[in-house]
Chains A and B, each alone.
Chain A
Amino acid sequence: MGKWKTLAKAAIELAAIVAKFICLYHVTDSYLFSPTIVSGPSMLPTLNMTGDVILAEYVSHRLGKVGPGDVVLVRSPENPRKTISKRIVGMEGDTVTYLVDPNFSLRSRTIMVPKGHVWIQGDNMYASKDSRHYGPIPYGLILGKVFCR
């Protein structure tokens, strides 16, 4: 009986250490920074088509410190389970002029970004589905800022 007790106690201690480590890793992963793999043609030539490992940090967007020119990870407004990476072109209140469909014409439109929203575009305008397609996205969908490739 005593043997089981000591064994159980050792197991619980080990489990506690593992749990604490996982906890710490998770906190870093969600709130500080984490590596992510991004792929797809929409951010050429900045990011590779077949896949790039990037470091994204999750502090700036909570402090409101993301701005135009930053590459950010956002939750896709069309598929909430997908995370996409694009560049912020305009913040709320900015006037954005963009080419509607550069594959077919040179027509451009100007729009003002509403309050609480941002305008995102992929670096590769010819093959990117972004705010030109689904409009300005709410700031709340920004997950993090990419700072390193």
Chain B
Amino acid sequence: MNFQQWSALMKEGFNVTSFVATYLCFLHVTNTYLFTHAWVYGPSMLPTFSVTGNLVLAERVSTRLGKVGRGDVVLIRSPQNPRKVVTKRLVGMEGDKITYVVDPKNSDRRETIVVPKGHVWIEGDNIYATSDSRKFGPVPYGLLHGRVFCKVSDLKSFMDCIFFSFLFFFL
């Protein structure tokens, strides 16, 4: 192959690489700062999410602006395994007094705790089979990853999802 062909090939390769890099960059920025998807599975959020798995859309704007509140389902980095991101419901913000059942499978004993500054209290919807703040205590706010706003079960719910998310962002 002579030099001209080679240089044309290199130029083409560079163009393609640059295009792919730009696309990945754009995808990454959207994932980190706007919204992302997650596949949630496991029994801890029954009946909201099924055991075998649901695709959810989570937005990453509210956590940075401090606009998450009680009742939101959030993605949070696990305090026990930093490589895992878990899904739970935010039950208490800092300063709230939380009364929770310590071990519902074995007893009805309740305990009350005040959530310290800078922390949140998370619980799974299925309190019989979840490892959450009742086990590892209040979690620092800095571990919040995103807020789930949409569960995708089929095409119709997906379209509803997009519609409601637009309403949320622009109203």
Contacts and interface: CB of A to CB of B under 8 A. Distances in A.
Contact of A23 (B25, B77, B78, B118): B25
23 contacts: A23-B22, A23-B25, A23-B26, A23-B29, A24-B25, A27-B25, A75-B142, A77-B119, A77-B142, A78-B116, A78-B118, A79-B117, A115-B81, A116-B80, A116-B81, A138-B79, A138-B80, A138-B143, A139-B82, A140-B142, A140-B143, A141-B140, A141-B143
A137 B81 CA distance: 12
Nearest to A30: B32
The residue in A75, A79, A115, A138 that gathers the most chain B C-beta atoms within 10 A of its C-beta is A138
A11 to B, nearest CB: 18
A140 B80 CA distance: 9
Contacts of B81: 115-116
Interface in A34-85: 75-80
Contact of A80 (B28, B78, B140): B140
A117 B79 contact: yes
Contacts of A116: 78-82
A76 B28 CA distance: 25
Q: Dominant SS at the B interface?
A: mixed
Interface residues of B, number: 22
Interface string A93-129: 0000000000000000000001111000000000000
B142 A141 contact: yes
Nearest to B119: A77
Contacts of A24: 25
A117 to B, nearest CB: 7
A140 B78 contact: yes
A83 to B, nearest CB: 9
Given A23-B25, A140-B143, A141-B142, A78 B117 contact: yes
A20 interface: yes
